[in-house]
């Protein structure tokens, strides 16, 4: 990242040499002042977009109408945006027009005070028009100006406030919090993909529990993920779940997600018990959730599709939710069944989910540790044994072509997985004996 900072600093230097104001802007300034490693570097400048394009040989006008140009230097893309003020927002996402202006105007049109700071990388001077440094030191997320107006301009700012507060361990300032609560039900007016992106970021930036507590507190959870909000108050059997209701269990589970966790694992863990509210029942004083894995998998797929996640994502989430209890039965499985489980493409994530699930409930890890031990003991060739006979081999042994060949090959693989057959000669003898 030091290399990216050096590239961005050189771009500022060249803009300055050409007679333009230029600063680092936004999140990279906030993170540097907090002692965090910035994820990327953005530049704000007085140079209009056509000047930026003329100054640098490799540029991409990703949003030239809004003054945004991507400059590629030393193979690294850096976003360079012209200082601007925004006209009215008519779609809850973008301004109807922009007017290029001053650094002060650019700061005042941004979302939160801690994101409206500028930094001169050549001198280290911080340029602050909105008392952002005060809020940064106090650990506060505060909307710039009228909080309700900032949210109406872009409803995604409600989710972004929650994400920033969670990731930075900040509090949301009272007026801003009240404005979010008042507008929470309108958050779904924006594109579902943008909502999905923010939900995934909240889950995978290392502060998922705090993020979802804030989503619930603000009313955003009921609007964005009503199926998860419904988990609150759904009681569970205290012998298996001494931690409390399904929502608390889910919070304890996602609390274990580390920054950089895979989207599939994060969504699978969040939604692994999403079927419980609709399958909850009482039988002889016992609380049951029969079929909640299958019901939950269908719900999870629908949620992922609603949030415009990729097919690859929702197919893996389906697998994780549908199978999240299978490992409990692993110690009693036939060897062939266990080997098939261990070789599933998504087994590593399933194992990670099962461990977090157990640690968020009664902390019984015996079945997880059993699977880890058996996986370590069984070599790859035992879990995925090479085929000893082919369809052509079976025909040569006198079996006619047809569906029967597949049945024989499946039975032969079962025998291999059980350790009953290990050589070609044994395979041929197996076929002669059983078929």
pLDDT in tens, the chain (435 residues): 678 899 999 999 999 999 999 999 999 999 999 999 998 899 999 999 999 999 999 999 887 677 899 999 988 999 999 998 764 555 555 554 567 889 999 999 999 999 999 999 999 999 999 999 999 999 999 999 999 999 999 999 999 999 999 999 999 999 999 999 999 999 999 999 999 999 999 999 999 999 999 999 999 999 999 999 999 999 998 888 888 899 999 999 999 999 999 999 999 999 999 999 999 998 877 899 999 999 999 999 999 999 999 999 999 999 999 999 999 999 999 888 888 888 888 999 999 999 999 999 989 999 999 999 988 887 666 667 777 777 777 787 778 888 887 777 777 677 777 777 777 777 777 778 788
Tell me the sheet residues that pair with 71.
59, 78
Phi-psi region at 83: left, alpha or beta (left = phi > 0; alpha = psi -120 to 50):
beta
What does the alpha-carbon distance between residue 172 and residue 112 come to, in Å, rounded to a whole number? 10
Nearest alpha-carbon partner for 265 in 339, 325, 329, 347: 347
Q: Which helix H or strand E contains 80, and what residues bound it?
A: strand 76-82
Same domain, 1 and 130: yes
| Domain boundary residue, one of 135, 169, 197 | 135
Domain membership flag for residue 202: no
Q: Are residues 59 and 6 in the same domain?
A: yes
Q: Does 8 share its domain with 116? A: yes
Q: Provide the pLDDT for residue 281.
A: 93
For residue 207, the SS3 value is: coil
Residue 187 in any domain: the answer is no
**H-helix or E-strand spanning residue 263:** helix 263-271
Check residue 94 and give its pLDDT: 59
In a domain, 238, yes or no: no
Domain that holds residue 427: 385-434
Contact between residue 190 and residue 93 where contact means Cβ atoms under 8 Å apart? yes
Q: What is the DSSP letter of 45?
A: E
Rounded Cα gap, residues 316 and 313, in angstroms: 5
Say if residue 356 is in the same domain as residue 429: no
Is there a single domain that holds both residue 297 and residue 403? no
Tell me what percent of the chain is helix, strand and coil, each rounded to the nearest 5.
55, 10, 30
Contact 169, 207 (CB under 8 A): yes
Q: Are residues 368 and 391 in the same domain?
A: no
Residue 162 CA: distances (Å) to CA of 133, 150, 165, 257, 342: 19, 15, 5, 17, 38
**φ, ψ dihedrals at 285, nearest 5°:** 70, 5
Work out the end-to-end distance of the chain between its first and last CA atoms, rounded to an integer number of angstroms: 64
Q: 34 in a domain, yes or no? A: yes
Q: What pLDDT, on a 0 to 100 scale, did the predictor assign at position 64?
A: 65
Residues 54 and 13 in one domain: yes
**Helix (H) / strand (E) containing 274:** none
For residue 287, tell me if it sits in a domain.
yes
- Three-state DSSP state, 72: strand
From 105, 135, 165, give the residue that closes a domain: 135
Q: Would 147 be classed as within a structural domain?
A: no
Distance (Å, whole) CA 80 – CA 48:
10
Q: What is the rounded CA–CA span in Å between residue 219 and residue 74?
A: 45
Q: How far is CA 380 from CA 62, 332, 339, 352, 383, in A?
A: 47, 21, 10, 20, 5
Cα 381 to Cα 145: distance, rounded to the nearest angstrom: 64
- Nearest residue to 219 via CA among 169, 261, 162, 259: 162
> Is residue 298 included in any domain, yes or no?
yes
In angstroms, rounded to a whole number, what is the distance separating the alpha carbons of residues 180 and 183? 5
Q: Which of these, 348, 207, 325, lies nearest to 264 by C-alpha position?
A: 348
**Residue found by looking up tokens 């597949």 in the block:** 406
Which distant-in-sequence residues (6+ apart) come within 8 Å of 308 by Cβ? 191, 192, 193, 196
To the nearest 10 degrees (0 to 180), the angle between helices 403-417 and 424-434 is 120
88 lies in some domain: yes
Sheet-wide strand order for 59-63: 59-63, 68-73, 76-82, 42-45, 22-25, 118-119, 126-127
Instruction: Determine contact, residues 177/112, Cβ cutoff 8 Å.
Output: no
- pLDDT confidence of residue 118: 97
Residue pair 199/307 in contact by the 8 Å Cβ criterion: yes
Half-sphere exposure in the Cβ direction for 318 (13 Å, CA): 12
Domain boundary among 135, 156, 171: 135
The CATH number for 5's domain is 3.30.460.10
Same domain, 296 and 412: no
Number of domains in the chain: 3
Give the H/E segment covering residue 62: strand 59-63
Residues 197, 168: contact at Cβ < 8 Å? no
Looking at the fold, whether 114 and 70 belong to one and the same domain comes out as yes
Cα(17)–Cα(6) distance, integer angstroms: 16
The DSSP letter of residue 46 is: S
Please return the burial class of 64, using the count of CB atoms within 10 Å of its CB with bins 0-12, 13-18 and 19+: middle
Closest CA to 52 of 76, 73, 37, 28: 73
pTM: 0.85
Do residues 58 and 28 share a domain?
Answer: yes
Same domain, 349 and 393: no
Q: Give the containing element (helix H, strand E) for 171.
A: strand 171-172
| Same domain, residue pair 332 and 275 | yes
């Amino acid at each position: 990242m030091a290399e990216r900072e050096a590239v961005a600093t050189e771009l500022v230097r060249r803009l300055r040499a050409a007679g333009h104001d230029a600063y680092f802007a936004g999140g990279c300034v906030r993170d540097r002042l907090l002692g965090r490693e910035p994820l990327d570097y953005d530049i704000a400048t007085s140079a209009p977009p056509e000047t930026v394009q003329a100054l640098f040989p490799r540029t991409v006008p990703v949003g030239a109408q809004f003054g945004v140009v991507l400059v590629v230097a030393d193979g690294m893309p850096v976003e360079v945006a012209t200082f601007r003020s925004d006209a009215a927002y008519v779609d809850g996402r973008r301004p109807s027009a922009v007017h290029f202006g001053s650094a002060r105007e650019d700061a005042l049109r941004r979302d939160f005070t801690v994101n409206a700071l500028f930094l001169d990388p050549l001198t280290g001077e911080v340029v602050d028009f909105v008392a952002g440094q005060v809020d940064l030191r106090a650990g506060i997320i505060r909307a710039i100006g009228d909080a309700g107006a900032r949210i109406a301009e872009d409803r995604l700012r409600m989710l972004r406030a929650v994400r920033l507060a969670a990731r930075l361990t900040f509090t949301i300032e009272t007026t801003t919090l009240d404005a979010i609560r008042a507008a929470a039900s309108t958050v779904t007016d924006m594109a579902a993909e943008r909502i999905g992106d923010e939900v995934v970021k909240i889950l995978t930036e290392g502060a998922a529990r705090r993020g979802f507590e804030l989503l619930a507190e603000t009313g955003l959870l009921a609007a964005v993920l009503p199926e998860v909000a419904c988990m609150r108050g759904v009681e569970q059997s205290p012998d298996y779940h001494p931690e409390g209701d399904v929502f608390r269990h889910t919070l304890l589970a996602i609390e274990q997600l580390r920054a950089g966790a895979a989207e599939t694992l994060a969504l699978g863990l969040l939604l692994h018990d999403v079927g419980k509210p609709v399958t909850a029942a009482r039988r002889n004083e016992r609380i049951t959730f029969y079929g909640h894995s299958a019901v939950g998998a269908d719900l999870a797929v629908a949620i992922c599709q609603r949030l415009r996640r990729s097919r690859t994502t929702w197919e893996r989430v389906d697998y994780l939710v549908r199978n999240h209890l299978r490992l409990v039965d692993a110690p009693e499985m036939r060897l062939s069944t266990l080997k098939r489980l261990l070789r599933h493409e998504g087994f590593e994530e399933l194992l990670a989910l099962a461990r977090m699930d157990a640690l968020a409930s009664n902390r019984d890890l015996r079945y997880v540790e059993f699977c880890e031990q058996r996986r370590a003991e069984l070599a790859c060739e035992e879990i995925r044994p090479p085929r000893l006979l082919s369809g052509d081999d079976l025909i040569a042994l006198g079996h006619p072509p047809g569906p029967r060949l597949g049945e024989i090959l499946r039975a032969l693989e079962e025998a291999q997985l059980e350790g009953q057959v290990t050589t070609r000669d044994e395979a041929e003898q197996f076929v002669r004996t059983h078929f």
